[in-house]
């Protein structure tokens, strides 16, 4: 049982009734990995996450999560959806949103229990957002909102954390903060992070998989220019993200 990888995809194909979004994808994510899933927009990255979450079924092939079909192990998956997936102006506080991660744990009628609230507080401390617990979602910065979403994914103690473009709409400083947080979480969790930003995530992840309908590469090494070309179909200039902001905010 312990031999089963965290996530296994066997010859997975998927389409939404039109042209294939994913074709013959084979991928093993071993336990304890920090996988960066990169690729162009529309390359099937978010679809692959939804397959792993069991929100959609593969057209061909099969998906196995922790040795079982995806729907069976949802409690073991923490999911951070893409930015602007919901309304920012929704009247809800950070702690109330984080508590929603406990819904699978405490079902039925009535209110959240004391242990739910304690778990929420722990998750908010872990994601460094506890000081904003009472604030309304709409008042948060992009980075703070992302931390709140990570806390919501952490609150039910998952084994695997799946993040869809966690740094798409936040500035460089906040982006580093998020990835430093993920690096800490990686000590106890398997992490899969979807990103379009190859250069940046290669500094943090243990492994990169490039997806453009097919799995173009799944290497542990840093993604070179040749692979970027296969992936995006044209030569691209790579920008290294090793530049850091100086105290005045200029690169």
Positions that interact with other proteins (CB under 8 A): 53, 55, 74-75, 77, 79, 81, 85-87, 89-93, 96-97, 99-104, 107, 109-112, 134-136, 139, 152, 156
User: What tokens does 110 get?
Assistant: 């009535």
**Residue 100 C-beta: closest distance to other proteins, Å:** 5
Of 156 and 175, the one with the shorter C-beta distance to other proteins is: 156
Q: Is the dihedral of CA 17, 18, 19, 22 positive or negative?
A: negative
Of 102 and 213, the one with the shorter C-beta distance to other proteins is: 102
**Residue 101 C-beta: closest distance to other proteins, Å:** 7
Q: Which of helix, strand or coil describes residue 66? A: coil
Of 110 and 249, the one with the shorter C-beta distance to other proteins is: 110
Nearest to 228, CA basis, from 204, 250, 192, 199: 199
Nearest to 150, CA basis, from 122, 171, 118, 173: 122
| φ, ψ at 15 (rounded to 5°) | -140, 155
Beta strands across the sheet bearing 214-219: 77-80, 160-164, 190-195, 34-38, 207-212, 214-219
**Residue 54 C-beta: closest distance to other proteins, Å:** 8
12 dihedral zone (left: phi>0; alpha: psi -120 to 50; beta)? beta
**Residue 222 C-beta: closest distance to other proteins, Å:** 33
Of 107 and 244, the one with the shorter C-beta distance to other proteins is: 107
Cα separation, 141 vs 147, in Å, equals 10
Of 96 and 171, the one with the shorter C-beta distance to other proteins is: 96
Nearest to 192, CA basis, from 172, 177, 214, 207: 207
Of 130 and 208, the one with the shorter C-beta distance to other proteins is: 130
**Residue 119 C-beta: closest distance to other proteins, Å:** 13
**Residue 122 C-beta: closest distance to other proteins, Å:** 17
Cα separation, 177 vs 128, in Å, equals 10
């Amino acid at each position: 049982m312990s031999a089963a990888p965290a996530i296994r995809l066997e010859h997975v194909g998927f389409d939404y009734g039109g042209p294939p979004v994913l074709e013959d994808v084979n991928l093993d994510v071993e336990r304890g990995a920090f996988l960066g899933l990169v690729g162009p927009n529309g390359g099937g990255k978010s679809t692959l996450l939804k397959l792993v979450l069991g929100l959609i079924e593969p057209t061909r092939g099969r998906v196995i999560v922790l040795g079982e079909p995806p729907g069976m192990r949802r409690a073991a998956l923490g999911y951070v959806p893409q930015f602007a997936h919901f309304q920012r102006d929704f009247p809800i506080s950070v702690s109330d949103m984080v508590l929603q991660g406990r819904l699978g744990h405490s079902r039925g009628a009535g209110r959240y229990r004391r242990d739910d609230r304690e778990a929420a507080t722990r998750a908010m401390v872990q994601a460094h957002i506890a000081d904003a617990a009472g604030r309304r979602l709409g008042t948060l910065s992009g980075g703070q909102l992302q931390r709140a979403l990570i806390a919501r994914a952490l609150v039910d103690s998952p084994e695997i954390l799946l993040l869809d473009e966690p740094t798409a709409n936040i500035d460089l400083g906040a982006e580093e903060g998020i990835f430093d947080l993920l690096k800490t979480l990686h000590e106890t969790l398997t992490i899969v992070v979807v990103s379009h930003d190859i250069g940046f995530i290669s500094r943090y992840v243990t492994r990169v998989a490039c997806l453009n309908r097919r799995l173009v590469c799944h290497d542990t090494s840093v993604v070179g220019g040749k692979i970027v070309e296969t992936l995006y179909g044209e030569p691209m200039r790579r920008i290294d993200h090793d530049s850091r902001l100086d105290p005045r905010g200029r690169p």
